């Protein structure tokens, strides 16, 4: 009786206090994309599906030679590809979070927010799938090698790397989405879906940053070295998956692989990704989780 009373009246842990704030935020402002998006709203035949400056070929000779109709089609296919990557990533993240719950205290606010985030991610995957269908596109799938890598990540992303992996996928994707908000030149249904995702993803990013910042000071030398190695690889892998050569072919570009090479070396596309990765890079550097090799790799990919 005494032990139970002391537990019941004990002040919440700082970690649980932060999770409790996130739970209250989720209760006040969360969305159900099935009813919070007008899926029957017509698409505007003249509007793009992504802002020009975040489209991978923007500013290249190939882009300059495209008609407005071709640019619109490329933006449609590129949005479908970005959403597909988002679905794979959130699928993987939920598997990692579920594994964390197996070792966590089911009565803690931290575990309760983990479950809340998983519910958000399930709705986001459905929202992305419905949006791909609504814009009359098809999803993009990783090739066999990429599927093997993605599936094997859950074997290697443990401890601090769960949160690093979460931040790599969430923060770079989030920065791209923020460029779509309130843009009068974009399809309204796309802007609405991205606003929903940005609102809920802000809590997810805060949750992952808090977990990683609490863990970083107590890392062993081995864990820090392993985390640095994974950080060096994770962001370039995510960027690699963002440019699928099939999307260029579906957009009417015959040499899809050539277009992908052009996109990956495109200074404008590298700047757009660099903006998305800047805050993440600064945060990881502050935690001592980007080593010299990682910095060189990120800089080579335009992420720093």
pLDDT at 267 over 70: yes
Looking at per-residue pLDDT, the higher value among 132 and 276 belongs to 132
**Average pLDDT for 156-174:** 83
pLDDT at 259 over 60: yes
Q: How many CB atoms lie within 10 A of CB 185?
A: 11
d(CA 92, CA 237) in angstroms, rounded, equals 14
pLDDT at 8 over 50: no
Output the pLDDT for position 4.
43
Highest mean pLDDT among 152-156, 162-166, 205-209, 235-239: 205-209
Q: For the chain, what is the HEC assignment?
A: CHHHHHHHHCCCCHHHHHHHHHHHHHHHCCCCHHHHCCCCCCCCCCCECCCHHHCCCCCCHHHHCCCHHHHHHHHHHHHHHHHHHHHHHHHHHHHHHHHHHHCCCCCCHHHHHHHHHHHHHHHHHHHHHHHHHHCCCCCCCCCHHHHHHHHHHHHHCCCHHHHHHHHHHHHHHHHHHHCCCCCCCECHHHHHHHHHHHHHHHHHHHHHHHHHHHHHHHCCHHHHHHHHHHHHHHHHHHHHHHCCHHHHHHCCCCCHHHHHHHHHCCHHHHHHHHHHHHHHHHHHHHCCCCCHHHHHHHHHCCCC
- Determine which of 116-130, 176-190, 247-261 has the lowest per-residue pLDDT on average: 176-190
Average pLDDT, the chain: 87
The tokens for 234 are 């994770």
The DSSP letter of residue 218 is G
What percent of the chain lies above the pLDDT cut of 70? 95
pLDDT of 53-100, one tens digit each?
889 999 999 999 999 999 999 999 999 999 998 998 899 899 999 998
Output the pLDDT for position 245.
92
pLDDT of 13-28, one tens digit each?
688 999 999 999 999 9
**Average pLDDT for 163-180:** 81
CATH architecture of 63-300: Orthogonal Bundle (1.10)
d(CA 173, CA 153) in angstroms, rounded, equals 19
pTM for this entry: 0.88
**Average pLDDT for 25-53:** 93
d(CA 131, CA 125) in angstroms, rounded, equals 10
Would you list the domain boundaries of the chain?
63-300
pLDDT of 115-141, one tens digit each?
999 999 999 999 999 999 999 999 998
Looking at per-residue pLDDT, the higher value among 165 and 150 belongs to 165
């Amino acid at each position: 009786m005494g032990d139970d009373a002391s537990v019941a009246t004990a002040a919440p842990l700082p970690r649980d206090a932060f999770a409790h704030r996130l739970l209250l935020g989720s209760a006040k402002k969360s969305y159900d994309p099935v009813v919070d998006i007008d899926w029957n709203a017509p698409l505007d035949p003249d509007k793009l599906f992504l802002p020009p400056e975040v489209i991978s070929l923007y500013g290249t000779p190939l882009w300059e030679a495209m008609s407005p109709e071709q640019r619109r089609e490329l933006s449609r296919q590129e949005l479908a590809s970005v959403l597909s990557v988002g679905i794979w990533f959130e699928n993987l993240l939920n598997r990692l979070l579920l594994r964390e719950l197996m070792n966590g205290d089911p009565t803690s606010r931290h575990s309760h927010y983990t479950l809340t985030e998983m519910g958000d991610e399930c709705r986001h995957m459905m929202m992305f799938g419905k949006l791909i269908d609504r814009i009359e596109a098809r999803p993009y799938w990783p090739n066999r090698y990429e599927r093997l890598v993605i599936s094997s990540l859950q074997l290697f992303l443990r401890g601090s790397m769960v949160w690093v992996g979460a931040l790599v996928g969430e923060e770079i994707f989030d920065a791209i989405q923020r460029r779509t908000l309130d843009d009068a030149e974009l399809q309204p249904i796309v802007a609405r879906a991205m606003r929903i995702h940005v609102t809920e993803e802000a809590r997810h990013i805060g949750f992952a940053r808090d977990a990683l910042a609490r863990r970083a000071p107590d890392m062993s030398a081995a864990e820090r070295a392993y985390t640095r190695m994974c950080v060096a690889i994770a962001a370039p892998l995510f960027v690699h998956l963002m440019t699928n050569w099939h999307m260029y072919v579906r957009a009417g570009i015959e040499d899809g692989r050539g277009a992908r090479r052009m996109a990956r070396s495109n200074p404008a596309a590298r700047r757009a990704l660099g903006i998305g990765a800047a805050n993440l890079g600064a945060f990881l550097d502050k935690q001592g989780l980007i080593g010299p090799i990682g910095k060189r790799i990120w800089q080579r990919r335009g992420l720093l």
